[in-house]
Structure 1
Amino acid sequence: MDSLGWWLAKDRSMLGRACPLFRSPALCRKERLDDQGLRLRRGRSRWPIPPAVLLASMVVLPAMGAQAHASAGSPRPNFLIVVADDMGYSDAGCYGGEIATPNLDRLAAGGLRFTQMYSAGRCWPSRACILTGYYAQQVRMDPPQGPLPAWCRVLPHYLKPLGYRCYHVGKWHLMGAPRPVADGGFDRSWCLEDHNRYFAPRNALLDDQRQPPVPEGSDFYVTTAMADYSLQFLRQHQREHAGRPFLLYLAFTAPHFPLHARQEDVARYRDRFRAGWDVLRRQRYQRMLEMGLVTGALAPREPDVVPFWNFPESELQKQVGPGEVGRAVSWDALSDRQKDLQATKMAIHAAMIDRMDRELGRVLDEIRSMGALDNTVVMFVSDNGASAEQIIRGDGHDRSAPPGSGRTFLCLGPGFSTLANTPFRLHKHWVHEGGIASPFIVHWPAGLKARGELRHTPCHFIDLLPTVLELVGAKPEPAWRGVMAPPLPGKSLVPALAADRSIARDYLYWHHQTNRAIRVGQWKLVSAGTKDATGPWELYDLGSDRSETNNVAAAHPERVRQLEQLWQRCEEEFRQQAGPPPAKASKAAKGAKAAKTTKPKVKSSD
């Protein structure tokens, strides 16, 4: 065994220790949620082939001690997979936030909250992970480079042979399989392609067919429409396919910019955030500590770090007005006008999440009326952390229009994004914890004995598909359409559904644009890049420093070197598995000069 394998095996022995990363429920205080108590408290109802040396020491822990999958002979469960867009780790009430999310809170009280679920840090790579079960780099989705590999399946391709009907509503953004029905395998789909307008979107597909634009001035609101289409598909399912299980993949766009919300929803939060991001972050952090969601310090604000494509401060002032702020500076340093606009923007962000929760409640009520909720596995995640982006797209921004209305284009910005990602560093796009930590709620009355408990095992969106496959007893063929597929890189989370135990794995990997990271056990190597270059490596012991406030790279140079080598090996293997896009492959086949991989164009947003 080489030194890397020895070190990894040594570190793996720590998984069973009672450290904050892998502790048992008995070691965590206040981890159980009581639904009534929650309401009173809130005042409302509420292929990669890994390096061979790593495989030799791998141990898979079985599920023990509690029911965690459907028993033999019982009906296969339904699945409702819900994805929020740019929602911060701690925005929901059940994760410590100020926003009213009674439906998410009830799901958490009746199920599980995971404290270390990870996304890929941005919209399209995260959705590639969820829908394909692979890292986005394995399926040519980060950066997007043509269609998915010929061997790549999407979730319905696994479920439909088992009798499932599969429905999609909302955002898609899987560019390598652009049609949810024809390419993604869904039976029905309402797909929103216009991500710049909540009140009058111009581009949407119903079952892959282009729909007319929504007229201006109608009572349409995208989040509500997503619930409407969900109900339509569920009712059709009940009429025509009641004896079959279903998958509903509901991908909201809220609270992604532009900040658009109904004024009555905004009114409920008009004054909620006027204390400012500094005070509210401390309060939110304290609630999270009391809930047992986090350990370690509250990361400081980082006013010098913003997305490189953001408007400069002067342009922000020109386009939006003197109330706009381009950096996460001290709240006390702001003018009254700046405080007013920033608090208003956060109120709109909150209103969008509030409305999403209400519409999710309608979907849950419909499933309940079908008599199907008990045997429906509900999974809720956010595609990445909250966004510090500040740009204007779509129809531009009308400074005279009420904030949050259809003629405006406001973004949350780095100040309140820092609040939304409490207690972590940085934002969407980065692969520090603030960009990749996601809430993860699992609710399944018929299959989970645990109620209101926390799970601390590190996990990733690539784990969702393997979890679904185990829960339905699926053993997919290794080839798809005659082409051998790499093994899925993720791990089933079924053992963690049963009890608060770690899921053994070799590593977790990230790469988005110039941002890089790899995690082995409690050690995370991470780098924040710039527009044109990668940055220096930082090393954190997440067992005691989840918020990444103490960079110990200088004290552990050998560990940095080993983790960097592992990251590079993963990077090369994943790109090789994906293969070149078809056009480049065709050129090579014709004897053309081998095309070098070009630097991908950086998109200003998703």
Structure 2
Amino acid sequence: ADGGFDRSYLLHDHDRYFAPQKHELDDRTLKAVKPGSGYYNSKAISQYAIDFLKEHATKCPDAPFYCYLAFLAPHFPLQALPEDIARYRDRYLEGWDVVRKRRWERMRKMGLVNCELSPLEPDELPSWNLSAEQLRKQIGPGEADRAVPWETLTEEQKRFQATKMAIHAAMIDRMDREIGRVLEQIAEMGAMDNTVIVFVSDNGASAEQIIRGDKHDPVAEPGSAASYLCLGPGWSSAANAPFRLHKHWNHEGGISSPLIVRWPKGISGKDELRHNPCHFIDILPTVLDLAGVPSKEFQPTDPNAPPLPGKSLAPAFTKDGSVNHEFLFFHHTTNRAIRVGDWKLVAKGEDGPWELYDMKTDRCEMKDLAAANPDRVREMAALWQKTEDQFRKQAGPAPTKAQ
């Protein structure tokens, strides 16, 4: 894509899992896919990757390779194969409160988190979401616009919401199976032991509820190509448990995601946890480090551009706590955050007050310490603004409030 890879399959259509209208192979436009053709984009992405890897093994078997798979799943719209949905059809009838609490308890038992379960925040919604009235009119009476206690929903809402989560789970299940097919190909090439596999998600689950693409047919089977559904804030709160809020916000529910690394030849530990905070800015320096390329060779040539801010995560492959950042900076739409050590400063919107949390003891962000630490707030806010100004020199004006 755009000269960055030898081979590429690129989707420009994020609203149609079964029949994309815009997609490319090696930068050449492909024909639009007709509905009912058997296409599903998670399967297509993995198959193209497998084909590319087979070609590599044939043409240059002794050369290293870099393969990047960006699955659309489980981003909205919720669309999945019927046989995958069937596996989860009644799994979530117990509701998001029960699922959320159970996941939090399991994570505490595993030592992943040490904080209390954050409360639901029904009044926190993306400003561009469809209203409750619009959702009922365009989707039906089973839709719910807020993260409210499960017991307050009608029986029709409970069934419909459980079906949406079943579709979401089916999408992840299929993606998992397709990743497995790619790994099987790598194993067939005899490259599994010395291949670094990094699995990561781009953000927390989304509370957005909108309708795009071919719109939504309320009489169509949920999860089919004719439906256009979103996970919604209730299940998003469960998916992000135990953290607060969702994608779009810079609280932990919006910015925390899994990072799993497998490299048998280079990582001796197995099933070990690392506590190093890291960021997508670290992926490039890590890849360069593993390839033996000095990162200084890839510094930007634009005089207005800040230097590459990330750090290689390779030291963390062998020792916990071995990667440290001076700070981590966040700015999504108008939401802001900065983390320095165990301290995190975060704000909702361009005018929202700064909140301060100790991530070591309160990663669920329930005890705001801003009032008790005014000097720390001022210092971290100044660092956030300095970094924002530096990036604005290259990136242009700051984003306006989303409509």
Instruction: Give the structure-2-normalised TM-score.
Output: 0.97
Q: Give SS of 1:540's match.
A: strand
**Aligned equivalent of 1:563:** 380
Q: For residues 599 and 482 of structure 1, what CA distance do their matches in structure 2 show?
A: 24
* Superposition deviation, residue 220 in structure 1: 0.6
In the other structure, the counterpart of 1:230 is 49
Partner residue in 1 for 2:337: 517
In the alignment, residue 282 of structure 2 is paired with which amino acid?
A: D
Cα-to-partner distance string for 1:447-494 (whole Å, 9 max, x where unaligned): 110001000111111111111111111015547796566431011111
Q: Which residue of 2 aligns with 1:575?
A: 392
SS at match of 1:454: coil
The residue matched to 1:351 in structure 2 has which SS? helix
- Please give the alpha-carbon distance, in whole angstroms, between the structure 2 residues aligned to 1:284 and 1:480: 42
Deviations 1:476-529 (A, max 9, x none): 554779656643101111111101124222100001111000000111000011
Q: Counterparts of 1:304 and 1:601 in 2: how far apart (Å)?
A: 18
Amino acid at match of 1:231: I
Alpha-carbon shift at residue 369 of structure 1 (Å): 0.3
Q: Is 1:286 the equivalent of 2:105?
A: yes
2: distance between equivalents of 1:339 and 1:263?
20
Residue identity in the other structure for 2:366? T
1:251 is matched by which residue type in structure 2? A
- Decide which of 132, 150, 153 is 1:334's aligned counterpart: 153
| CA–CA distance in structure 1, aligned partners of residues 398 and 113 of structure 2 | 40
Q: 1:494 aligns with which of 305, 314, 322?
A: 314
Matched, 1:416 2:231: no
Matched, 1:378 2:160: no
Matched, 1:215 2:34: yes
Is the Cα–Cα contact under 8 Å of residues 181 and 187 in structure 1 kept in the other structure?
Answer: no
Secondary structure, aligned partner of 2:196 = strand
Give the unaligned 5+ runs of structure 2.
none
Runs of 4+ in 1 over 6 A off after TM superposition: 479-482
1:332 partner letter:
E
Residue of structure 1 in register with 2:366 after alignment: 549
Residue number among 519, 526, 529 corresponding to 2:346 in the alignment? 526
Task: Confirm or deny that 1:198 pairs with 2:9.
Answer: no
Which of 215, 218, 224 is residue 405 of structure 1 equivalent to? 224
SS at 1:455 equivalent: coil
The verdict on how the C-alpha distance between 1:302 and 1:481 changes in structure 2, with shifts beyond 3 A counting, is closer
Cα gap change, 1:292 to 1:253, in 2 (>3 Å): same
Distance change >3 Å, CA 601–CA 562, structure 1 → 2: closer
Bigger relative contact order, structure 1 or 2 (CA pairs below 8 A, ≥6 apart): 1
Q: Take 1:371 and 1:598, find their aligned partners in 2: how far apart are those partners?
A: 48
Q: Please tell me the residue identity of whatever aligns with 1:501.
A: G
Partner of 1:405, secondary structure, is coil
Distance 2:320 2:373 in 1: 30
Unaligned runs of 5+ in 1: 1-179, 581-596
2:272 paired with 1:453 = yes
Q: What amino acid maps onto 1:566 in structure 2?
A: L
Question: 1:399 corresponds to which letter in structure 2?
Answer: P
Out of 504, 515, 532, the position equivalent to 2:324 is 504
Matched, 1:535 2:352: yes
The residue that corresponds to 2:2 in the other structure is: 181
Measure how far apart 1:579 and its partner are.
Answer: 5.8
Matched, 1:296 2:115: yes
Deviation at 1:552, TM superposition (A): 1.1
SS across alignment from 2:170: helix
Deviations 1:29-64 (A, max 9, x none): xxxxxxxxxxxxxxxxxxxxxxxxxxxxxxxxxxxx
Deviation at 1:181, TM superposition (A): 3.1
Task: Note if 1:261 corresponds to 2:80.
Answer: yes
Structure (1/2) with the larger strand percentage: 1
| 1:599 Cα deviation after fit | 5.1
Q: Which amino acid aligns with 2:2?
A: V
- Distance, in Å, in 2 between the alignment partners of 1:259 and 1:483 is 40
What is the alpha-carbon distance in structure 1 between the residues aligned to residue 254 and residue 73 of structure 2? 17
Query: Contact 2:21–2:32 (CA<8 Å) still a contact in 1?
Result: yes
SS at 1:249's partner residue? coil
Confirm or deny that 1:273 pairs with 2:92. Answer: yes
- In the TM superposition, what are the counterparts of 1:319-358 in structure 2 within 5 Å? 319-358=138-177
Q: Could you say if the C-alpha distance between residues 456 and 311 of structure 1 is closer, same or farther in structure 2, counting changes exceeding 3 Å?
A: same
For the residues of structure 2 that align with 1:454 and 1:418, how far apart are their CA atoms?
24
- 1:481–1:545: structure 2 CA closer, same or farther, 3 Å change rule? closer
1:63-82 matched pairs, under 5 angstroms:
none
The answer to whether the 8 A contact 2:300-2:308 is kept is: no
Give the direction of change, closer, same or farther, for the CA distance of 1:579–1:181 in structure 2 (3 Å limit): closer
Residue of structure 2 in register with 1:161 after alignment: none
- Single out whichever of 239-248 and 407-416 deviates more from structure 2: 239-248
Report the Cα distance in structure 1 between the residues aligned to 2:302 and 2:198, rounded to whole angstroms. Answer: 31
Give the 3-state SS of the residue equivalent to 1:226 in structure 2: helix
Distance in 2 between residues matched to 1:422 and 1:462, nearest whole Å: 25
Q: Secondary structure at the match of 1:453?
A: coil
CA contact (8 A) 1:192 1:205 kept: yes
Other structure's SS at 2:361 match: coil
Please give the per-residue CA displacement for 1:138-181, whole angstroms capped at 9, x wherever unaligned.
xxxxxxxxxxxxxxxxxxxxxxxxxxxxxxxxxxxxxxxxxx23
Residues 518 and 477 of structure 1, relative CA distance in 2, 3 Å threshold: closer
In structure 1, C-alpha distance between the alignment counterparts of 2:290 and 2:223, rounded to whole Å: 41
CA distance in 2 between counterparts of 1:251 and 1:293 reads: 26
Counterpart of 1:446 in 2: which secondary structure? coil
- The one-letter amino acid paired with 1:292 is G
Distance 1:571 1:270 in 2: 46
Sort the Cα spacing of 1:376 and 1:600 in 2 relative to 1 into closer, same or farther, 3 A.
Answer: same
Q: Do 2:327 and 2:338's aligned partners in 1 also have CA atoms closer than 8 Å?
A: yes
Q: Secondary structure at the match of 1:223?
A: helix
Against the structure 1 CA distance between its residues 319 and 483, is the aligned structure 2 distance closer, same or farther, given a 3 Å change threshold? closer
Quick one: which amino acid aligns to residue 321 of structure 1?
G
Instruction: Report sequence identity in percent.
Output: 57
- Alignment-mate amino acid for residue 539 of structure 1: L
| TM-score, scaled relative to structure 1 | 0.65
Letter in 1 for 2:99: L
CA contact (8 A) 2:334 2:400 kept: no
Structure 1 counterpart of 2:124 = 305
> How many Å separate the matches in 2 of 1:515 and 1:562?
18
